[in-house]
Copies of this chain bind each other. A is one copy, B any other.
Amino acid sequence: MSAPLRDRTAPTEHPVLDVLDVLAGRWSPRAFDKESTIDEATLAAVLEAARWSPSAGNTQPWRFVVARRGTALHAQIVEALTGLNQTWAPAAGVLIVALAEEHDADGNPLRFAQYDLGQAVAHLSVQAHSEGLVVHQMGGIVREALSALPGVEARFVPLTVIALGQLGDAASLPDKLREREVAPRVRRPLAETVVAAA
A-to-B contact residues, CB < 8 Å: 1-3, 5-6, 8, 15-16, 18-20, 22-24, 26-28, 40-41, 43-45, 47-54, 56-58, 60, 62-68, 71-74, 99-100, 111-112, 114-119, 121-123, 125-127, 130, 137, 139, 149-153, 156, 159-160, 185-188, 190, 193-198
- How many angstroms between the C-alpha atoms of A40 and B5 in the bound complex? 8
Task: Tell me the nearest residue of chain B to A137, going by C-beta.
Answer: B54
Set of chain B residues within 8 Å of A41, measured between Cβ atoms: 18
Bound together, the chains give a CA A196 to CA B151 distance in angstroms of 6
Min distance, Cβ A72 to any Cβ of chain B, angstroms: 7
- Residue contact A20 to B22, C-beta cutoff 8 Å: yes
- Complex alpha-carbon distance, A171 and B27, angstroms: 42
Q: Is the CB of B195 within 8 A of A64?
A: yes
Partner among B22, B58, B115, B127 whose Cβ is within 8 Å of the Cβ of A186: B58
**26 residue pairs A–B, Cβ–Cβ below 8 Å:** A3-B40, A6-B44, A15-B52, A18-B48, A19-B45, A19-B48, A19-B49, A20-B127, A23-B126, A23-B127, A44-B190, A56-B137, A60-B187, A60-B188, A60-B193, A63-B194, A65-B195, A67-B196, A73-B197, A100-B115, A115-B117, A115-B121, A115-B159, A118-B118, A119-B121, A119-B122
